[in-house]
Structure 1
């Protein structure tokens, strides 16, 4: 079961890291580069990006930030995994907030940009850009920070889970060592063997005269 829990946490960590990397790349390279281009170029590029980004690879990672983290939390329910569950719960909350920012803020901005139509036919490209760029960049930075924080917290969760598993393994090994030692003590002069020896010593020997008979003779 430990292997299953760890595998789920690895998937949550991987998906969260990948998505955080995508958002981070936009924040430090893509959007700063587009900021130096014309209004028409920015609109055209981002319209195409909004089409290409909807692919199985990105969607698997994006949905996995919440899905795999929630599954990892479910597998750690119980008193024995309370410390790890707290870390996973924090990571899950951060991922849910980042997901909500994307769905409620970035996606509607993308849809509005797509609805503007062909950049060559837009009468006022500057107005379309103004309604889109600054808000999208701001919310992208917010979700980048949230997703990166979730990734770091998941790293902490994996560390705590490893420490807990190590302590449990050490305790089980110590118990396994102490039990055979106690059995060996009982077999080689322990209380059970000593008790049997005392009972055999106290038993009378058949045909042996006691003290009173020896004095009478």
Structure 2
């Protein structure tokens, strides 16, 4: 029983971690799409390049990387802990979320990161000869891929939220089934002789009378003088 509770807590913790990491990263990319990039779009070329170069440096920190890597890592862990036919429904939800997070991760690694590296390679904005070209080669493509990965991570977050809900329902049903099974086992246990159960007539006095009569008859039979009283 303790092991079952421990495994449930472990599965739940992994699922919550995957959901939280995915939601946080989806929020970061959503913020880029709705505020950061529209604001930078209104600045001049040098300011836009300079700010994005700095953002791409400071964002590589442990807090961001735990969430970013956790979108896939925690989801894989949650899926591994839900292997088994009794968790099949939750595992399906996790598989969908994992696919979405992997695709979004690939978009970031294969599109946004190379664009960031390209912008960094352009060097100091004060020394760039053609600022407009560097910006044009970076901005529109980066914004497009950022919107795509934000949508993918948001969908994964919604699916993981559904997986949490399904996991809770499955656990509740398993608990109810276990309680019902235990109740049936307790009801099926044999009742010791002489113990009165519900729905059975009370026969103890009759059995006692029969036993007393048989004992008395035996005593009279053993003593012929007393046998006359039986007549």
TM-score, normalised with respect to structure 2: 0.81
Report how many aligned residue pairs link the two structures. 202
1:174 aligns with one of 177, 180, 204? 180
Moved over 4 A (4+): 184-187, 205-209
Q: 2-side partners of 1:27 and 1:151: how far apart?
A: 17
Question: In the alignment, what sits opposite 1:77?
Answer: 83
Question: In the alignment, what sits opposite 2:58?
Answer: 52
Q: 2-side partners of 1:102 and 1:189: how far apart?
A: 70
Question: In the alignment, what sits opposite 1:215?
Answer: none
2:117 aligns with one of 102, 111, 114? 111
Question: In the alignment, what sits opposite 1:17?
Answer: 23
For 1:1-217, what aligned pairs fall within 5 Å after superposition?
A: 1-183=7-189, 187-188=195-196
Q: Which runs of 5+ in 2 are unaligned?
A: 1-6, 204-209, 222-231
Q: 1-side partners of 2:189 and 2:106: how far apart?
A: 61
Q: 1-side partners of 2:37 and 2:191: how far apart?
A: 74
Q: 2-side partners of 1:185 and 1:41: how far apart?
A: 86
Q: 2-side partners of 1:55 and 1:104: how far apart?
A: 20
- CA deviations on 1:49-104 (whole Å, 9 max, x unpaired) are 01000000000000000000000000001100000000000000000000000000
Q: Superposition RMSD on alpha carbons, in Å?
A: 2.4
Give 1 or 2 for the bigger CA radius of gyration.
2
TM-score, normalised with respect to structure 1: 0.86
Offset at residue 185 of structure 1 (A): 5.3
Question: In the alignment, what sits opposite 2:228?
Answer: none
